[in-house]
Amino acid sequence: MASPFRLKTALPDDVLRVHSCTSREGLSEAGDTTLTLLSERKDILASELLGKLATLTIALREDAPRHLSGYVTRFAQRGFEGKHCVYEMQLKPWLWLLSRTADCRIFQEMSVPDIVKQVFEDHPVARYEFKLLRPYRTWNYCVQYRETDFNFVARLLEHEGIYWYVEHDESGHKVVLCDSASGHDAKPGCESLPFYGSESQGAPQLEYVQGWSGAQCVRPGKVVITDYDFQKPSSALETSQMVKRDYDLSDGEIFDYPGGYIQTGDGSQYVEDRLDELQSSHETYEGTTNAQGVQTGHLLALTRHPRDSENAQYLVTGTQLALHQAANESGSGETSLRCSFSCIPAQQQFRPGRRTPKPLVSGPQTAIVTGPAGEEIHTDKFGRVKVQFHWDRRGKRDERSSCWVSVAHPWAGSNFGGIHIPRIGQEVIVGFIEGDPDAPIIIGRTYNGENLPPWDLPANATQSGFLTRSTKGGSYGNANAIRFEDKQGAEQLWIHAEKNQDIEVENDETHWVGRDRTKTIDRHETVFVKGNRTETVDLDETITVHQNRTERVDLNETISIGDNRSVTIGGMKTETVALAKAETIGLAKALTIGLGYQTTVGAMMNTTVALSQTAQIGQNKSTNVGKSYAITAGDELSINVGKASLTMKKDGTIIINGHSFSLGTTAEQTFNADGEVTVKGKKILEN
């Protein structure tokens, strides 16, 4: 009689014969199959089988054979039985091989199904099928950080409520990923499996269920989750889901944060998945069967159970298969198959437990700020930047190296605070919120061998401050800076503006300088004082204007000089007074003019001298009066020209001294007197 167990491996079919087999599978579990094998060959090397595909076909029912396929992950020699060498071989599905690869990489703007596909495509042995009915959100940023491909895929699927099972066929196996009950069907023979309490109740040729048991347990009845969206910090993202059960204390609430979403629609889906996950183990059943078609991820319908409520359809969540074939020299013998299984009511939506831990970043890391080629600063309206981590082998150090990463600042408020945007090429210190590699935040910056401090160290260890860099293309000499020098005896605050410096003071400003102040302006200075201005100089003030100076006073000007004032004008001086000018000199005034002096008065001119006035003219003096010219002297008026003189006194006496007198040049002269005329002389001559 031919064996119902056929094993196909990389070796010829007649080399290995199945002696026994145990197989374990579960929803979202890799499972394994262990075979005890007999062979007449005693020299089989593990390298002939390891990493190669093997398939066991179970043909207890020729019309519907069952297959168990996997890759050989372990091969051992166990001893001898008769003339046969005993070997042990372990098979695992191809998905398990992902536990033998680990990576650090970043996925951006992708849904979980798309991420999983990309990971699968890195493995040539991958065979899979998606049976997904729901839409899935796009993840802005998702990091595989120091974890195996298997754990990475598993935790993402668990987070999204996607579960999987392995479908076997003669050529191998594939992983089926699903998210709803429509992804399951019943294998042949399992559309209706009768229950028999003992083997004696069932005919040997009949496939049936035996040892059926069920249990219910208290599970949480409500799930509440929430999250935070920094772009909409006031948004209420809390969402909840609950189910009522007909037993006491079924309303336990589970609250969790963060929920892993920023859209309430996504939150509603996640909270429903979390509740399904908890309720998946509320009502569970276990059984044993001889039916080879009972397989994980498929349905079975139970009949003939004495408890009518349990005659229903169930989803098989796990199986343990044991088969045995007695060894004999002919290669055949009695066979047996026993399958233990667990299941849940088909109407209960299964969701995988979140068993796979998300890796945590145990502390801060450093990274390099990145951006588009040719740019020096790359940021968004929130002041976020892109970075490339040192572990990122695939990044191109460009604007796609990471998500936008928030930057911690010394102060941040609503349109106020402090801000310093990290620039491309700078090294920054990155922390992770709750250690989550998907939630980086820049918490600091640091220098490195390519980016050194702005001042030479340790020579200038007493200096601190800020020195920026002009962009684009700024060199070391192009910067704004504030520097503090704390060296004892040489303390200094140095401020440098590469181009403009604008200072705004809303109210008062006070400056105090303990000693000297030097101010140099290479071009122009403009000062606007809208109110009053007072300037006090305790000692001397020297103002030097190398070209022209214009001073304008719209109203009055008062100048007070305690002692002397000297004004030196190298060229000409023009003074224009629109109305009147009053000049008061307490003692004396001296006016020296090198060449000419002209006074022009448009109407009247009055000169008042309290005591005496003396005018000295080196050569000539001319006085031209358009009409009248009056001279009034209180006591005496004297005119002297050489030896001639004219003196007039207040008593009416006129004294004329001279050698000769000429009266006019006309033919006729007239002298009039109201009184007597007396002429005296030593000799009076008449012609």
Backbone φ and ψ for 675, nearest 5 degrees, come out as -120, -155
pLDDT in tens, 387-414: 999 999 999 999 999 999 999 999 998 9
Contacts of 82 (CB under 8 A, 6+ apart): 327, 329
Quote the CA–CA distance of 276 and 268 in Å, as a whole number: 12
Confidence of residue 328 (pLDDT cuts 50, 70, 90): low
pLDDT of 575 over the 90 cut:
no
Confidence of residue 589 (pLDDT cuts 50, 70, 90): confident
Of 5-19, 48-62, 589-603, which gets the smallest average pLDDT? 589-603
Burial class (CB in 10 A: 0-12, 13-18, 19+), 465: middle
pLDDT of 202 over the 60 cut:
no
* Mean pLDDT in residue range 33-50: 95
User: What was the pLDDT predicted at 226?
Assistant: 96
* Mean pLDDT in residue range 44-68: 90
Of 161-170, 611-620, 624-633, which gets the smallest average pLDDT? 611-620
DSSP one-letter code for 270: H
Q: Kindly tell me the number of DSSP H helices and DSSP E strands found in the chain.
A: 3, 33
CA-wise closest residue to 395 among 106, 122, 141: 106
* Mean pLDDT in residue range 534-538: 89
CA-wise closest residue to 189 among 206, 210, 211, 165: 206
Instruction: Specify the 3-state DSSP secondary structure of 112.
Output: helix
Quote the CA–CA distance of 68 and 7 in Å, as a whole number: 9
DSSP per position, 303-323: ES-SSGGG-SEEEEEEEEEEE
pLDDT of 117 over the 90 cut:
yes
Q: What is the pTM of this model?
A: 0.80
pLDDT in tens, 654-685: 888 887 777 665 667 776 777 777 777 777 77
Quote the CA–CA distance of 194 and 208 in Å, as a whole number: 5
Tokens matching residue 211: 């040892």
pLDDT of 496 over the 90 cut:
yes
- What does the mean pLDDT of the chain come to? 90
pLDDT of 255 over the 60 cut:
yes
User: What was the pLDDT predicted at 51?
Assistant: 95
pLDDT in tens, 616-652: 887 888 888 888 888 888 888 888 888 888 888 988 8
Question: Which sequence spans correspond to the domains of the chain?
Answer: 222-279, 365-446, 463-491
Domain made up of 222-279: CATH architecture: Irregular (4.10)
* Mean pLDDT in residue range 309-328: 91
CA distances from 395 to 72, 371, 388, 514 (A): 35, 12, 7, 57
Identify which has the larger pLDDT, 293 or 97: 97
pLDDT of 563 over the 90 cut:
no
CB distance 87 to 110 below 8 Å: no
pLDDT of 199 over the 70 cut:
no
458 cis-preceded (ω within 30 degrees of 0): yes
CB distance 238 to 309 below 8 Å: no
CA distances from 345 to 243, 245, 350 (A): 16, 15, 9
Which CATH class for the 365-446 domain? mainly beta
